[in-house]
Structure 1
Amino acid sequence: MTIAAQTEAVEYLRNHPLLRTGDLDEARHRVGQKFCDHRLDIAQRHQDLAVRHNHVAGRHSSINYLHYGADVTIDPGMLDSFYLLQIPLSGQASVRHRGSDIIASASTATLLNPDRDTTMQWGADCRKLLLQIDRGYLETVARQIIRAELPGPIRFASRIDLHSEGGRRLRQMVCACVQAAEAGVLFQGAPSGSDLRVEEDLARALLTRLPSNISHIIERADHGSLPPGIRAAVEYIHANLSNPIQLSDIAAHVDLNIRTLQNGFRRAFGQSPMRVLRNARLDAAHYHLMAQTDTPDVTTAAFSNGFSHLGRFARDYKARFGHSPSHTARHQDCG
C-alpha cells in the first residue's frame, strides 16, 4: 500500500503520544507548549473535543500528528519563531494567511510564515502532519546555500500543491521521517548525527523546492568552492549593496590586484566583479519589491540598493527578470 493510500486509515506517530484530551483549556495549553500561544474555540457547541496529538522532535524541528475531533477555530496570530508546514491527511481546513484564503485538503498543503498573521478553521475530520522548523535554523541553512547574508525575512508562498514536484517531494520526505521515527531510528531523544542530517535535508528541501522570496537568489547561487579571496570579495559586495563602491574598493578590501580579482570572478562566475555587484543589487531590489506588505515603491527599491539612475535600473531589471520593476510591485506572489 502506498503512503497516499495509507493516510486515510493510519494515525501517524501513535507510539509517540503527547496529548489525549477532551478538555478545551488543556488542549489549548498543551498544544501551545509545543507551538505557540493561541486561541482555540469549538465552532459547534454541540460537538465534543477529542484531541490526539503525537510528537517527535530533533534539535531544530519537530513532526506532529494532530487531530481535534471537532470543528475548531485556531488563531495563533504570528508564529514568530518557526515555520509550519501543514500537510492534511484527511478532511479540510480553511487557512487565512498573508491576506489569502486557502482550502487545505489532501491535495493542498499550507506553509505558515512566522511574521504573518494566521487564522484557521479545522473540520472535525481534519487530520494533519505538521513539520515545524526553527526560524533561526532555516535562515542559517539559507545563508549556507547562497553564501551571503539574507536581504531580509524569508517568506514562502502559503499554498502548496501536493501534486507538484516540490509539494510531492516534501510530502514524501515528511512521511519517510515519520516512518523512521515509528521504526525507532529517528528523533528518539538526544539528537544524533543522522537526526541533524535529516533536519538539514528538510530545511534545504523547503528552501530549494518551494517558492519563496529568495528562490531567485538560491537559483543563482554558486554551489562550488570558491577561493578565499573571491569568497571574501562576494561577501564584501553583499555587505555593501547600498554603498557606492568601485572595483578598486573591492580589490583593496580583499588585498588582490584588480587584474587578479577580475580573472578570479570570470573563472568562478563568468562575469566581472561589477556585473556580479549589479546583479546582486538587482536581486535585492527584486526581493524588496516582492514583499507583500510594507512594499517599497520602485524609486525606494532602486535607491536603497545602490542604483542612482532609475532608467538604467528599469532596463537592467527587465533584462534580468523579464518584466519591469513596476510589474513586480503590482503582482507580488511570493514576497
Structure 2
Amino acid sequence: MAGGRSPGPAAPGADVPVHISLRTTDVDEAREFCRSLYYGPLRIEPVGDPGRFRFQADVVVLGPITLGEVGYGTDIRVSIAALETAYHVLVPLTGMLRSRHRGAVVLADPTRAVVFRPTGDIEVDWPASCRLISVKVERAALEREVDAALDQRVISPLPLGATFDLVDGPGRTWAAMVRLLLTELREPDALASRPRMAARWRDMVVSGLALTVEHPYGEEPAGLQGPHRPRTVKRALDAMHAEPWRAYTIHDLAALAGVGVRVLQESFRQHVGMPPLTYLRRLRLDAVHAELCRSDPGQVSVSEVAYRYGFTHLGRFAGAYRTRFGETPSQTLRDRR
C-alpha cells in the first residue's frame, strides 16, 4: 500500500504540482483520502462485495485544479452535499456510472463525461468495472475564465450542461489533454512538472473546459448576457485576478489600465457595479474563503491565509469576511467543506 497526505496550501501563484497516491483495502482510509483532496462531507459506501474493495488513486494537485485516476474494485455509492467551491467532471476510462444531480440522471461512460455544478446534492452509483479520471476545478478559476474569454459578466454558479461528448469535438481533445497531463505529472522529471510548463497546462485545462462544456454565454440567453466591458476595465480586472494579494492602489490600477483615476472609477461603476478597490477586496475575501474551505485546520491558520492575500489588519478583515459570508473565518476553517 502506498499512501500520501493532502499537501499544505501553496503560496499564491505557485505552480508546483503535488502528486499523492493511495492503494488500500480500508474503506475508512480511502474515504479520508478523498475528503482531504476533494470535499469534506463525502460519503463512500460499498454496495458490492466489501471483500473486493481495492481503492486505487493517483492524484495531482496543480493550483486550482485537482486531477486523479480513481477506481474502487467493487460497486460503491458516493454521496456528497453541494460542492459549493468547485465544478467537477468525471471522465470514465472503463465501465459506466450513474449519477443524479439537480434532478438530472446522467449515464457516463468512455463516450460521455458527467459535469457537476457547485449547487445541489450529488449521488453516484459507481460499479467495480468503472475506472475514471476525476477533475476538480475551483469555482472562481472556471468562472473567471468564462468571464475573460467572452468579455461579459456571468452569473455564478455557471449554468453548465450536465454532460458532454468524449468521442468527437472539443470534449475528445480536452479529455485527451487531461489524461496526458495526469500521466506526465506522475513522473517527477517530466517537462510538464516544471512550474512554467505546469502553469500553461493548468490554464489549458481550465480554458479548455470553459470551451468544451455547454453554457448559454455567447448564445444571447435572455437575462444572462452582460454588458461589454471596455479594454481599460478588463486590464485592471486581469491584473487583480492575476495577483490579488498585491497592495494595489487606485493609482496603480489606473496606470495599468492606461487611464486616469476618475475614468477608471466611472468605468468600474458602469461595467462592474462597484469601485475598483471594493472589487479587489471582494476578490481577496473570496480567495481566502475558498482556501479556508479546502484547508486542514491543523495545518493552517486564519491569519496566515489572510496575510497571504493582502489583509494586514485582521480586525477589519474579520468584519468584512463575516459581512460577506455570514460566518467568521474560524468557523469556515473549522467546518470546511
Q: TM-score, normalised by structure 1?
A: 0.59
User: Counterpart of 1:185?
Assistant: 190
User: Counterpart of 1:208?
Assistant: 211
Residues 36 and 139 of structure 1: is their aligned pair in 2 closer, same or farther, counting only changes over 3 Å? same
Question: Is 2:175 aligned against 1:168?
Answer: no
Question: Is 2:151 aligned against 1:147?
Answer: yes
2:57 is aligned, of 44, 53, 57, to 53
Percent sequence identity over aligned pairs: 20
Query: Equivalents in 2 of 1:19, 1:112: separation in Å?
Result: 24
Q: Which amino acid aligns with 1:170?
A: W
Residues 118 and 47 of structure 1: is their aligned pair in 2 closer, same or farther, counting only changes over 3 Å? same
After TM superposition, give the deviation of residue 33 of structure 1 in Å: 0.7
After TM superposition, give the deviation of residue 212 of structure 1 in Å: 1.6
2:154 and 2:225 in contact (8 A); partners too: no
Residues 232 and 160 of structure 1: is their aligned pair in 2 closer, same or farther, counting only changes over 3 Å? farther
Query: Equivalents in 2 of 1:167, 1:220: separation in Å?
Result: 27
Q: Secondary structure at the match of 1:211?
A: coil
Q: Which amino acid aligns with 1:66?
A: V
Q: Secondary structure at the match of 2:219?
A: helix
1:146 and 1:222 in contact (8 A); partners too: no
User: Counterpart of 1:81?
Assistant: 85
Query: Equivalents in 2 of 1:163, 1:48: separation in Å?
Result: 31
Query: Equivalents in 2 of 1:220, 1:163: separation in Å?
Result: 33
1:56 and 1:187 in contact (8 A); partners too: no
Question: Is 2:140 aligned against 1:117?
Answer: no
1:54 and 1:64 in contact (8 A); partners too: yes
1:110 and 1:159 in contact (8 A); partners too: yes
Q: How does 1:262-281 map to 2 (within 5 A)?
A: none
User: Counterpart of 2:328?
Assistant: none
After TM superposition, give the deviation of residue 166 of structure 1 in Å: 2.1
More deviation in 172-181 or 213-222? 213-222
Residues 18 and 215 of structure 1: is their aligned pair in 2 closer, same or farther, counting only changes over 3 Å? farther
1:154 and 1:214 in contact (8 A); partners too: no
Choose 1 or 2 for highest CA Rg.
1
Query: Equivalents in 2 of 1:219, 1:208: separation in Å?
Result: 17
Residue by residue over 1:111-160, the C-alpha shift from the partner in whole angstroms, topping out at 9 and shown as x without a partner, is 11112221001110110011211112222223322334433321311111
Query: Equivalents in 2 of 1:153, 1:70: separation in Å?
Result: 33
1:83 and 1:111 in contact (8 A); partners too: yes
Residue by residue over 1:300-329, the C-alpha shift from the partner in whole angstroms, topping out at 9 and shown as x without a partner, is xxxxxxxxxxxxxxxxxxxxxxxxxxxxxx
Residues 31 and 187 of structure 1: is their aligned pair in 2 closer, same or farther, counting only changes over 3 Å? farther
Residue by residue over 1:254-284, the C-alpha shift from the partner in whole angstroms, topping out at 9 and shown as x without a partner, is xxxxxxxxxxxxxxxxxxxxxxxxxxxxxxx
Q: Which amino acid aligns with 1:27?
A: A
Query: Equivalents in 2 of 1:80, 1:21: separation in Å?
Result: 29
Residues 182 and 95 of structure 1: is their aligned pair in 2 closer, same or farther, counting only changes over 3 Å? same
Query: Equivalents in 2 of 1:237, 1:164: separation in Å?
Result: 41
Residue by residue over 1:60-107, the C-alpha shift from the partner in whole angstroms, topping out at 9 and shown as x without a partner, is 112101000000000012112111111100011111112111111111
Residues 185 and 50 of structure 1: is their aligned pair in 2 closer, same or farther, counting only changes over 3 Å? same
Q: Which amino acid aligns with 1:163?
A: V
After TM superposition, give the deviation of residue 29 of structure 1 in Å: 0.9
After TM superposition, give the deviation of residue 237 of structure 1 in Å: 4.2
User: Counterpart of 1:19?
Assistant: 22
Residue ranges of structure 2 left out of the alignment (5+ in a row): 1-17, 233-256, 276-337
Residue by residue over 1:5-42, the C-alpha shift from the partner in whole angstroms, topping out at 9 and shown as x without a partner, is xxxxxxxxxx9551111111111111111001211111
After TM superposition, give the deviation of residue 203 of structure 1 in Å: 1.1
Residues 179 and 26 of structure 1: is their aligned pair in 2 closer, same or farther, counting only changes over 3 Å? closer
User: Counterpart of 1:198?
Assistant: 201
Q: Secondary structure at the match of 2:52?
A: coil
Q: Secondary structure at the match of 1:216?
A: coil
Q: Which amino acid aligns with 1:137?
A: A
Cα root mean square deviation, aligned: 3.2
Question: Is 2:137 aligned against 1:133?
Answer: yes
> Aligned pair count?
225
More deviation in 224-233 or 39-48? 224-233
Query: Equivalents in 2 of 1:29, 1:186: separation in Å?
Result: 31
